[in-house]
Amino acid sequence: MAGRAMVKDRKGRFVQKLVKIERPILRIPTLAIHLDRQETFSFNKETQLFPIAGLVAAELNRQSKGDDTAKAEITNGNGSSTRFRPLKAPDERHHPHIMELIAKEIQVSPSEIIDFEMVLYDTQQSCLGGINEELLFSARLDNLEMSFCSTVGLIDSVNPSSSLDDEESIRLISLFDHEEIGSNTAQGADSNFLPTIIRRLSVLPEFGGNAEPDPDAYEQSLSKSFLISADMAHSVNPNYAVKYEPDHKPEMNKGTVVKINANARYATNSPGIVLIEETARRARVPLQLFVVRNDSSCGSTIGPMLSAALGTRTLDLGNPQLSMHSIRETGGIYDVDYVIKLFEGFFVHYTELGGSFTID
């Protein structure tokens, strides 16, 4: 379980505390197949997805050993409450033991927690697999792998002390929440977060200069920029090879996948392919192309959304993986190194490459 808790400290301030409980405390059990032989796995989200936290007898035994939970309110002698609460206290809305676990993790007392937001996650660690340990088995490869690799690529691009001496561009990555539920949140890609950051950066004076910013600096920045929408891609699944277009079957450990869709579900176009291909040539890493079958549905990314909002040249790519959106996904370990080098090369060479394109 992980998330954040809002805590009231001794000075009366409300402080956010990040929470990550790494041991498994909850489990959502499915019904044994012997008791319901349905052809497709389906369930009721309201009644059949409750997690199990333990057994009643064990919890009663724990409480009987003197593990008392502080009361949410204190009463005076006349029976009136000394503290008015518009909402029930957290330990009245949630199980006291859960409150204790959260409080222990952030080193406060349960009574100091005012509210919290928690989600469940798979606690099983990532690991290498395959006969030659060439595969990566992990939860949430989509899209933590691209987030990690873009971060490392940016850091590696500025490792040399002289890396920014002649740089005319700003090297930037933006990591968003809530892509899988539409991105229409304050911290999602459909917010004004990235445009606002770019606008503020575009009007900064040059180092040591005092000149007034150009009123069109933001629009000029967007026209000169290039956006890589980095989201994991589909590797060919040998058990379902018929689901893939015959000439577009990306394989794990054979390079990052450039994603193309005629209905603009991806934002890739020919100028973008030429730029990323030249970047990959300089970085000496392989690339693959992916086009979904004409009779198949196609996923999408934040690429088209940001491309439409910013008017910036955009390309969609990602490392190939199996079992996307499964609790346990599979990727290739060599692709991690490939895409880090690709991102590093993009940051290093874009100022030169971006100026070499002539497009009507």
pLDDT for res 73: 45
Position of tokens 């000439």? 247
Per DSSP, the residues of 198-259 read HHHHHTPPPTT--PPPPTTHHHHHHHH-EEEEE--EEPP-GGGGGGS-TT----TTS-EEEE
* 79-to-74, 87, 259, 290 alpha-carbon distances in Å: 9, 19, 67, 70
pLDDT at 304: 94
- Give mean pLDDT in consecutive 10-residue pieces for the chain, a chain of 360 residues: 93 94 91 82 87 79 59 48 78 89 94 93 94 96 96 96 90 92 89 92 70 82 93 96 93 97 93 95 97 90 94 96 95 98 96 80
Residue 84 tokens read as 């008015």
User: In whole angstroms, what is the distance from residue 111 CA to residue 35 CA?
Assistant: 43
Run of H or E including 128: strand 127-129
| This prediction's pTM | 0.86
| Nearest-angstrom CA–CA distance, 337 and 350 | 20
H or E element: which one contains 116?
A: strand 113-119
Given the DSSP bridges, would you call strands 135-138 and 113-119 parallel, antiparallel or unpaired?
unpaired
Instruction: Give the pLDDT score at 34.
Output: 86
* Residues 125, 127, 130: CA angle, nearest 5 degrees: 150
pLDDT at 77: 52
pLDDT at 71: 44
**First and final CA of the chain: distance in angstroms?**
52
What's the confidence (pLDDT) of residue 37? 80
